[in-house]
Amino acid sequence: MITFKNLKKSYGKNVVLDIDLLEIPKGQAFGLVGNNGAGKTTMFSCLLDLIKPTKGIVTNNEINVRESEDWKTFSSAYLDESFLIGYLMPEEYFYFIGELRNVKQKEVYEFLKQFEDLFNGEILGGKKYIRDLSKGNQKKVGIVAALIGSPSVIILDEPFANLDPTTQIRLKKIIKKLSTYNRVTVLISSHDLQDVTEVSERIVLLEKGKIIKDIKTSEKTLKELESYFTKE
């Protein structure tokens, strides 16, 4: 269970996040939507202890993320390119992440084989540094690295952006499998309402840092969200 309780983040008088209570059960595929500046990245950053909330508590599996780093042993994330190490080649980066998570190099090598279709021959063995890859391929590296070590909580910010349609479809299948069969808690933010609706069993809509809607995904969800964002 992930819990945000009485959480507020302000910059001066500007409140960018204000959540009374939000609970995300283990194994849930959770989607977060909202316009730019809605507070999506701020919320994920608080969960990952990348920024300090003005007040309130965030717990991950009953661990206060501000008071202990024990949650890091079972949690993983990819928010943006800053999570990567540009001067490494993808293989080096994957092995580095594996070492951090106590996964042997041989095990990482075997783990990567299942992503051959996703990589499409453009990631491994190309002798390119991560910084020289396209934005889409950098994202593939970051997302797959986040899966190494079988984390039980995975946080992905805009995972479908800069990816071609084929890769998006393959990534959606991976995400669905994680939550459905592996009971992994997956948190995803996205600007694309259709993408997030397809992979999430629950969607929260943020506006100006506040929860406006908390929806269990159904056939009507996409239209409900589209209606909200297109209202005058």
Give residue-wise pLDDT tens across range 159-215: 988 888 988 998 999 888 888 777 899 999 988 888 899 999 999 999 999 999 999
Mark whether 70 and 162 lie in a shared domain. Answer: yes
Instruction: Kindly state whether residues 225 and 113 are assigned to the same domain.
Output: no
Q: How confident is the model at residue 68 (pLDDT cuts 50, 70, 90)?
A: very high
- Could you give the residue ranges of the DSSP H alpha helices within the chain? 40-47, 90-100, 105-112, 116-119, 135-147, 165-180, 193-199, 221-230
Q: How confident is the model at residue 120 (pLDDT cuts 50, 70, 90)?
A: confident
CB burial class (10 A; 0-12, 13-18, 19+) of residue 88? middle
Same domain for 156 and 41: yes
| Chain center to CA of 75 | 11
Domain membership of residue 115 as a residue range:
80-150
Residue 183 lies in a domain: yes
pLDDT confidence of residue 228: 84
pLDDT class for 226, splitting at 50, 70, 90?
Answer: confident
Enter the pTM of the model: 0.90
| H runs (alpha helix) in 77-134 | 90-100, 105-112, 116-119
CATH value at residue 35: 3.40.50.300
Least confident of 68-77, 78-87, 173-182: 173-182
Residue 232 pLDDT exceeds 60: no
Please say which residue of 150, 182, 208 terminates a domain: 150
Is residue 56 situated within a structural domain?
A: no
Give the sign of the dihedral formed by CA 163, CA 167, CA 173, CA 175: negative
Does residue 212 fall inside a structural domain? yes
Tens of pLDDT, residue by residue over 1-21, are: 999 999 999 998 899 999 999
Predicted pLDDT at 194: 87
* pLDDT value for 201: 92
**Same domain, residue pair 180 and 232:** yes
